[in-house]
A and B are shown apart, each in its own frame.
Chain A
Amino acid sequence: MNKYTAPILIGLVVVLVILSGSMFTVDQRQNALVFQLGEVVSVKKKPGLYFKLPLVQNVRYFDTRILTLDAAEPERFITSEKKNVLVDSYIKWRVIDARQFYVSVGGDETRAQIRLNQTVNDGLRAEFGKRTIHDVVSGQRDKVMDLIRTKADQDARSIGVQVVDVRIKRVDLPESVSENVYRRMEAERKQVANELRSTGAAEAEKIKADADRQKQVIVAEAYRDAQRVKGEGDAKASAIYAVAYDKNPEFYAFYRSMQAYRESFKNKSDVMVLDPSADFFKYMKNPRAAGGK
């Protein structure tokens, strides 16, 4: 073994220890504060390798990424129409001034979040108090969020924090009010259902009535045409009869009467009460009676 080996190794270790105490890196995601005996001497905002005095100076890192503050429980606010709403929101924030952040809240993220939460909730309470549920749910949602963000951001600068965004997640109605909403929705649906059914019935009736009308018209027109045709037939028949019977009207009367008698008295229930002196019986009384009358 070389006699220098041991001292070199020892020297190497010492050098490494000193180096590690005098160098530090700042990550892309961080800012760093360099303290000298408790006093902030410099702020490292750029990532990279830095040197410091070992032992005398120490370094504290602050995460500068965007952090989320998402309340576990929704907050209860009152709108301008004196209705309760449960509002769930989140805040996106980041440390932009590590020194200020350290000075004002001790570099404690939790403390910063409590502070932010208060600011935002105050802002939300104020804005909700000026608006109706409809406004905050729908119409002015963006506006409310913008207002709160601006306000919270201004306030947060004093603790070295930038509020990137404040967004409302849920705007819900409390349980008891929800029940009322359900009842109302039910009623509305019932109304729709009834309307659908009655308009359906009405339309059906209309269609049926139209069909009936068509039927009547068709039948009546057909009847009219039919009667007309029959009339034509009758007329023609009459003409024919007239021509024929006009040849001997007297005989026609006799002939037709004979026919009519035959047709009229063909039922056994017809009872004829006859006078034996009738012409028909003349030979019954007197076989030698003269023919004719």
Chain B
Amino acid sequence: MAWNDPQWGNNGNRNKNSGPPDLDELWRRLNQRLNGMFGNRNTEGGGGFSSGGAGGGNLLGLLLGALFLVWVASGFYIVDTGQRGVVLRFGKYIETTEPGPRWHLPWPIESREIVNIDQVRTVEIGYRNNVKSKVLRESLMLTDDENIIDLQFAVQYILKDPEEFLFVNRAPEDTVLQVAETAMREIVGKNKMDFVLYEGRAEIATRAKVLMQQILDRYKTGISISQVTLQNIQPPEQVQAAFDDAVKAGQDRERLKNEAEAYSNDVVPRASGLASRLKEEAAGYKQAVIANAEGEASRFSQIVTEYQKAPQVTRQRMYLDTMQTVMNNTSKVVVDQKGGNSLLYLPLDKLQQIANQPSSGASDALLQPPVAATPTPPAPVDLRSRDALRSRDREDRP
């Protein structure tokens, strides 16, 4: 701007022919307008002013001209990206201007308001700044089934119509808060608690957004809701424990089922295993039994063949072999019953005890029964087992 140039003041006189002509021009026009307004009363004076005022007139003219330019310049304004300028002429809406440098007729004819429309604004309901700092008055809501839930949410919005935003509502941004509250409460009030708390979260947010937009449009706020975010939905603190327990119960249920499944998965395969074992054992048994039978049958057949060659001897041999084995392995008492008819006392239990004593090497020693069945007192019999042995030992050791 040349008017602010420092050389202007210094060289004012020298440049009066080249520099200021447009200034003079402006001044002249202003004068003409003023003259027009005053009904040409000052035509002569004005004329004299412009033509004759060579020295003082010029100075005053410059001053007024500068003021005029400043006045004109006050009509410049810049609309940033994301903003809109709204121009009013004598208070009446004229136009909305797009981003860029703009000019309007200066005050008091026109005025401007700059509105940031793309800036995302946020309203928090039920909390401030942090979800932990709750505002219970806002966050507690009644549901359809007359339960109370604690809900915090945030609303983000931008402006879609700067004109409506400016002119229709007095406090449009407060309106968002009010509308958000009433809309959310209406939606929550129409739904059951379980729906709001669990499966319906996304739907609640969407429906609240739609309703809020409807209401805001009805008020012509020029606001467009871009997002409703549910920060936190939970039962009130007073009943939190019970709700947690219910959730835990759900998990318990799953756990019980899983444990039962685990049991089932353990038992059934084991049973199958056992079944296989039984079957295999049976198969094994079958084969074994048959094999045994075949073996025994074969053995018998062979023996029979030999037996038939010499039945008498074979029979005798087998009998004696068997008896020998039997006698070898058992304790024996030989009693001649024919010889005497008197009572014979045999302490069978004692004999068995002796037989069972592991170290008793003498167990199969042949007890010498009384050949003549003279009645014997019990004591000797009692002693006989050991004493007899000892006495025999003594006898053997001459």
Contacts and interface: CB of A to CB of B under 8 A. Distances in A.
Interface of A: 1-2, 4-5, 8, 11-12, 15, 25-30, 46-49, 63, 65-68, 70, 90, 92, 133-134, 137-138, 141-142, 164-165, 167-173, 178-179, 181-182, 185-186, 188-190, 192-194, 196-197, 199-201, 203-208, 210-212, 214-216, 218-219, 221-223, 225-230, 232-234, 236-238, 240-241, 243-245, 247-248, 251-252, 254-255, 258, 261-262, 265-277, 280-281, 291-292
A170 B290 CA distance: 92
Interface in B84-140: 88-93, 108, 137, 140
B38 A47 contact: no
Contacts of B337: 275
A125 B304 CA distance: 120
Given A4-B49, A196-B246, A185 B281 contact: no
The DSSP consensus for interface residues of chain B is: helix
B336 A276 contact: yes
Given A251-B307, A268-B364, A275-B334, A229 B279 contact: yes
B342 interface: no
Instruction: Identify the 10 closest CB pairs spanning chains A and B, nearest first.
Output: A200-B253, A233-B286, A222-B275, A226-B282, A244-B297, A237-B293, A211-B264, A204-B260, A193-B249, A27-B91
Contacts of A15: 37-38
B329 A268 contact: yes
B63 to A, nearest CB: 11
Nearest to B300: A244
Interface size class of B (residues with CB under 8 A): 35 or more
A66 B88 CA distance: 20
Interface of B: 34, 37-38, 42, 45, 48-49, 52-53, 56-57, 60, 88-93, 108, 137, 140-144, 146-148, 166-171, 174-175, 178-179, 181-182, 185-186, 189-190, 193, 215, 218-220, 235-236, 238-239, 242-243, 245-246, 248-250, 252-257, 259-261, 263-264, 267-268, 270-272, 274-276, 278-279, 281-283, 285-290, 292-294, 296-298, 300-301, 303-304, 307-308, 311-312, 315-316, 318-319, 321-323, 325-327, 329-338, 346, 348, 351-352, 355-356, 363-364
A201 B256 contact: yes
Contacts of A49: 90-91
B90 A68 contact: no
A214 B265 CA distance: 11
A193 B170 contact: no
A77 to B, nearest CB: 14
A135 to B, nearest CB: 11
A79 B176 CA distance: 29
Given A28-B88, A219-B275, A262-B322, A238 B293 contact: yes
A26 B91 contact: yes
A247 B182 contact: no
Contacts of A138: 144, 189-190
